[in-house]
């Protein structure tokens, strides 16, 4: 039986975020995902003799954007270094990275776990190139190498070992993920590997020195961070409590077996012999460039959440969902601009409710939504002006989703217009009361829960089109006598 | 500063070089001589000297983020020892 009571978990994360560049970091080959093998690897990416790397200015700009957003010192002079190791998916036998002078220095980001806020330190973030891909199957005992990904611009974001639980690690990873998308410096697509998380974990007795850590590599979903950590923490506890020692090593999480296993021992592999890359000169970001990038920063998700809660009276949960990506926030703000701030809650409910449900079901992103912000605003306007009830609006929404037209066209074509004419509703109410004399008697004798039954009957008779508030009022009046 | 033969073997391994036992003694001596030169350099007071990242006193020129899609894969692969399905084939690197 494993008891985790006596141990403090210490976690630090290294996140590789692919930067939103058209071309590679040091070559003009394209970075698009999913191309035919080696059709996006040019002579620089293939490390042909005599080629030289030329740095992509957009990669520099995006890295600085990130740095500014986490309040970091920007390395206005940064230097590229060679990280030396042999592996066939790295044709130069070194990776161009940054070591002593990274472009982004110390910063921090705030996370929230169970309503508690905590600042997590960011040690540094540096620019580097991605490696290619090795395919180990089906080549008669040989390995196939695809270098399309080689040279793809990455920002490696290194945290301080500030996290004390899997929940904190996930909150941090999500906060960085959200920020990367929000700043539009990367698409954060975890399935395609454009956002990869390496987890460093160790255990110690509270107050003691850090224990020996293991590194869990290339975890490609938030759920797997949790599972990999759960497995690895139990493994550490088991070893430590039986008097054993943790071996510092890199381990791979295998989601199929839900376990981690040793990849390579760090002792030998981590002697990377970094040295400044003589092919690249120091990179200088001028004060003017820095000021321009600062001025171009959008409102950050944290600031936006506070504003949504204060100005629009949204719950923390709604505000969180609406600021999860820049595209969400833009969609929401467009709705509010159309409907007015007092309808912000309605807009949030529809975005986080019907729309989110439909997108989820169809496995679409908000950008791919068949219902544009304008179209949804067209529907919500009809709820606000009482043309349709909230319930019938859902039918209209479904029809809009199916491409049957605008909200107004559908309301007209399907005759879903709400009945707000008091006379017409009163007629239906009278009809219902006359047809259910027994229930009326019972209600008057004290069975007040029958009220819902009358409402239901009226709505049924009006085919859901009677204005519910008016139905309530009228029924109350009539049943009082 | 003397480099031990063990250290030389480790450096050779990291650089993927096959050093024969005959060469080992001589190589250790030669590398130790290089380190002696660095030991001399280290005696200089560098307290107020910034590390030199590059011998040229210039800064990096940057490239506009634009692609050139014309990549003649067949031409590149013609000189590779083995290719299949567009992939470069290499000896298997994992067990």
- Asked whether A256 and A224 are in contact (CB, 8 A), the reply is no
Contacts of A238 (CB under 8 A, 6+ apart): A2
- How does pLDDT run across A140-166, given as a tens digit for each residue? 889 999 999 999 999 999 999 999 999
CA distance A108 to chain B (A): 28
- 58-77 in chain B: CB under 8 A from chain A: 58-69, 71, 73, 76-77
Q: Does B49 touch chain A (CB under 8 A)?
A: no
Give CA–CA dist A312/A153, Å, rounded.
39
Choose the final residue of a domain: A398, A414, A430: A414
Answer yes or no: is pLDDT of B2 > 90.
Answer: no
Q: How far apart are CA A15 and CA A159, in angstroms?
A: 8
Q: Between A54, A87, A144, which is nearest B89 by CB?
A: A144
The pLDDT of residue A266: 43
Regarding whether A283 and A153 lie in a shared domain, the answer is yes
List of E strands, A266-347: 275-276, 283-284
C-alpha A196/C-alpha A227 separation (Å) is 16
- Consecutive H or E run containing A202: strand A195-204
Query: Domain range holding B25?
Result: 5-42
State the alpha helices, DSSP H only, in A6-144. Answer: 57-69
Helix (H) or strand (E) segment spanning residue A77:
strand A77-78
Q: Are strands B62-63 and A55-56 parallel, antiparallel or unpaired?
A: parallel
- Kindly state whether residue A209 falls inside one of the protein's structural domains: no
Q: What is the count of structural domains for chain A? A: 3
Q: Cβ–Cβ of A56/B62 closer than 8 Å?
A: yes
Among A288, A320, A345, the domain boundary falls at: A288
Assigned domain for A140 exists: yes
Claim to verify: residue A372 and residue A327 sit in the same structural domain:
yes
Q: Give the separation between CA A139 and CA A133, rounded to whole angstroms.
A: 14
A275 and A134 assigned to the same domain: yes
| A257 located within any domain | no
Please report how many Cα atoms fall inside a 13 Å half-sphere around the Cα of residue A42, on the Cβ side: 19
Is the separation of the CB atoms in A242 and A53 below 8 Å? no
Token pair 């009082």 is found at: A480
pTM for this prediction: 0.78
Helix, strand or coil, per DSSP, at residue A420: coil
More confident residue, A80 or B68: A80
B7 touches chain A (CB under 8 A): no
Task: Note whether A131 and A87 are within 8 A (CB).
Answer: yes
Q: In a 10 Å sphere around its CB, with 0-12 CB exposed, 13-18 middle and 19+ buried, how is residue A106 labelled?
A: middle
Based on its alpha-carbon atoms, the radius of gyration of chain B, rounded to whole angstroms, reads 23
Strand partners, A154: A18, A128
By C-alpha distance, the chain B residue nearest A153 is B65
Q: Are A166 and A226 in contact (CB under 8 A)?
A: yes
How many Cβ atoms are within 10 Å of A201's Cβ, its own excluded? 27
Q: How far apart are CA A457 and CA A447, in angstroms?
A: 17
Same domain (yes/no): A62, A125 = yes
Residue A267 is predicted with a pLDDT of 47
The answer to whether residue B28 is domain-embedded is yes
Domain membership flag for residue B9 = yes
**Low-confidence residues of chain A: pLDDT under 50:** 1-2, 266-267
Q: Which domain holds residue A406?
A: 299-414
Question: What per-residue confidence (pLDDT) applies to A334?
Answer: 92
Q: What is the pLDDT of residue A6?
A: 84
Q: Which residues of B56-87 are buried (b: 16+ CB within 10 A; e: fewer)?
A: eeeebebbebebeeebebeebbeeeeebeebb
My answer on whether A345 and A453 are in the same domain is no
State the total domains in chain B: 1
A226: buried, middle or exposed (CB in 10 Å: 19+, 13-18, 0-12)?
middle
ipTM computed for the complex: 0.90
A279 shares a domain with A190:
yes
- A39·B86 Cβ contact <8 A: yes
Contact B59 A282 (CB under 8 A): yes
| The predicted structure's pLDDT at residue A269 | 53
- The per-residue pLDDT for A1 is 39
Q: Are A256 and A60 in contact (CB under 8 A)?
A: no
Phi, psi of A257 (to 5 degrees): -100, -5
Phi, psi of A162 (to 5 degrees): -100, -5
Adjacent-strand bridge partners of A217: A252
Report the gap between the CA of B57 and the closest CA in chain A (Å): 9
Do residues A364 and A463 share a domain?
A: no
**What sign does the CA torsion over A48, A54, A55, A56 have?**
negative
Chains A and B form CB pairs within 8 A to the count of 123
Cβ distance A294 to B74 under 8 Å?
Answer: no
B38-55: average pLDDT = 88
Side-chain half-sphere CA neighbours of A331 within 13 A:
25
């Amino acid at each position: 039986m494993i008891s985790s009571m006596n141990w403090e978990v210490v976690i630090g994360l290294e996140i590789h975020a692919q930067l939103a560049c058209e071309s590679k970091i040091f070559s003009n080959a394209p970075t698009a995902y999913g191309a035919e093998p080696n059709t996006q690897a040019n002579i620089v990416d293939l490390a042909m003799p005599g080629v030289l790397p030329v740095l992509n200015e957009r990669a520099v700009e995006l890295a600085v954007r990130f740095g500014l957003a986490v309040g970091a010192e920007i390395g206005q002079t940064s230097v590229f270094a060679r990280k030396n190791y042999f592996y066939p998916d790295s044709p130069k036998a070194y990776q161009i990275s940054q070591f002593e002078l990274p472009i982004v220095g110390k910063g921090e980001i705030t996370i929230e776990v169970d309503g508690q806020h905590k600042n997590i330190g960011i040690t540094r973030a540096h620019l580097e190139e991605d490696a290619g891909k090795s395919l180990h199957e089906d080549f008669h005992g040989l390995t196939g190498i695809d270098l399309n990904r080689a040279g793809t611009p990455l920002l490696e974001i290194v945290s301080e070992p500030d996290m004390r639980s899997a929940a904190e690690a996930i909150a941090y990873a999500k906060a960085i993920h959200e920020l990367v998308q929000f700043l539009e410096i990367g698409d954060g697509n975890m399935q395609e590997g454009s956002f990869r998380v390496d987890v460093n974990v160790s255990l110690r007795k509270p107050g003691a020195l850090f224990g020996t850590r293991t590194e869990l590599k290339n975890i490609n979903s938030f759920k797997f961070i949790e599972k990999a950590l759960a497995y690895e923490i139990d493994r550490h506890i088991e070893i430590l409590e039986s008097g054993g020692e943790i071996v510092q090593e890199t381990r791979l999480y295998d989601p199929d077996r839900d376990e981690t296993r040793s990849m390579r021992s760090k002792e030998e592999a981590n002697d990377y012999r970094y040295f400044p890359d003589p092919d690249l000169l120091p990179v200088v970001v001028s004060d003017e460039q820095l000021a321009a990038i600062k001025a171009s920063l959008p409102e950050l998700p944290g600031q936006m959440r506070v504003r949504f809660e204060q100005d629009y009276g949204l719950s923390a949960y709604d505000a969180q969902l609406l600021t999860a990506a820049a595209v969400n926030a833009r969609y929401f703000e467009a709705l509010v601009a159309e409907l007015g701030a007092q309808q912000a809650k309605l807009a949030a409910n529809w975005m986080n409710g019907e729309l989110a449900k439909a997108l989820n079901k169809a496995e679409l992103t908000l950008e791919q939504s068949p219902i544009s912000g304008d179209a949804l605003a067209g529907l919500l306007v009809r709820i606000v002006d009482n043309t349709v009830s909230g319930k019938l609006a859902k039918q209209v929404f479904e029809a809009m989703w199916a491409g049957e037209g605008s909200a107004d066209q559908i309301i007209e074509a399907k005759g879903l217009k709400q009945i707000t004419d008091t006379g017409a509703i009163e007629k239906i109410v009278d009809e219902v009361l006359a047809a259910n004399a027994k229930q009326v008697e019972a209600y008057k004798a004290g069975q007040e829960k029958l009220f819902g039954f009358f409402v239901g009957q009226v709505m049924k008779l009006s085919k859901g089109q009677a204005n519910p508030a008016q139905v309530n009022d009228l029924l109350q009046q009539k049943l009082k006598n | 500063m003397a480099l031990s033969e063990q250290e030389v073997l480790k450096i050779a391994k990291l650089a993927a070089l096959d050093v024969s036992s005959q060469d080992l003694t001589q190589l250790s001596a030669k590398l130790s001589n290089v380190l002696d030169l660095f030991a001399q350099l280290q005696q200089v007071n560098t307290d107020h000297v910034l590390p030199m990242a590059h011998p040229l006193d210039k800064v990096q020129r940057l490239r506009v983020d634009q692609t050139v899609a014309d990549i003649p894969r067949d031409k590149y692969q013609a000189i590779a020892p083995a290719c299949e399905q567009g992939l470069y084939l290499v000896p298997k690197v994992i067990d």
